[in-house]
Amino acid sequence: MRYQKPVNIQTLLQDSPLAKIVQKGIRLNELNQQVNGFFPPEFKDLYRIANIEQNSLRIEVANAMVRQSFLFRQQELLIQQHLPEITQLTFYINPEFRRGA
C-alpha cells in the first residue's frame, strides 16, 4: 500500500462494483417506466421489472392471475417490445410484492 501510485477517486468510483450496481438500478428504473406503455394498462402497479440479463427480462408479478395473463400475451409482448435483444420474458410471483411499492 505504501508504494502504490495515487488513484483518481472519480475513476475509482466509476469502476467500482457499487457504481455498477447503481447504474443497473437506474437502468431497471428507466425500463420500468418504459414498459408501462406496452404492458396491459389493467395491470399497472401489479408488476415490475426485477432484472435484465443477456436476453431475458425477469418480471415480478403480484399474483398468479397477473402471471397467467402475461403468459397468454407473452408472444405479443415480445413482438411489441422496444428491446430487440430480449427474446424471453420470465415471470415470477412475489408474495411480498406490494401494490405501488
- Tell me how far apart the alpha carbons of residues 97 and 75 are, in angstroms, rounded to a whole number: 25
- Tell me how far apart the alpha carbons of residues 38 and 79 are, in angstroms, rounded to a whole number: 10
Mean pLDDT of 91-101: 74
Is it the case that residue 99 has pLDDT exceeding 60?
A: no
* pTM score: 0.71
Question: Strands (DSSP E) along 5-87, which ranges?
Answer: 47-52, 56-61
Q: Tell me how far apart the terminal alpha carbons of the chain are, to the nearest angstrom.
A: 44
Question: One-letter amino acid identity for 46?
Answer: L
- Tens digits of residue pLDDT in 6-42: 777 777 667 778 888 888 889 888 888 877 777 777 8
Mean pLDDT of 86-97: 85
- Tell me how far apart the alpha carbons of residues 31 and 24 are, in angstroms, rounded to a whole number: 10
Confidence of residue 93 (pLDDT cuts 50, 70, 90): very high
Between the alpha carbon of residue 46 and those of residues 13, 85, 90, 93, the distances in Å are: 35, 24, 15, 10
Mean pLDDT of 44-63: 87
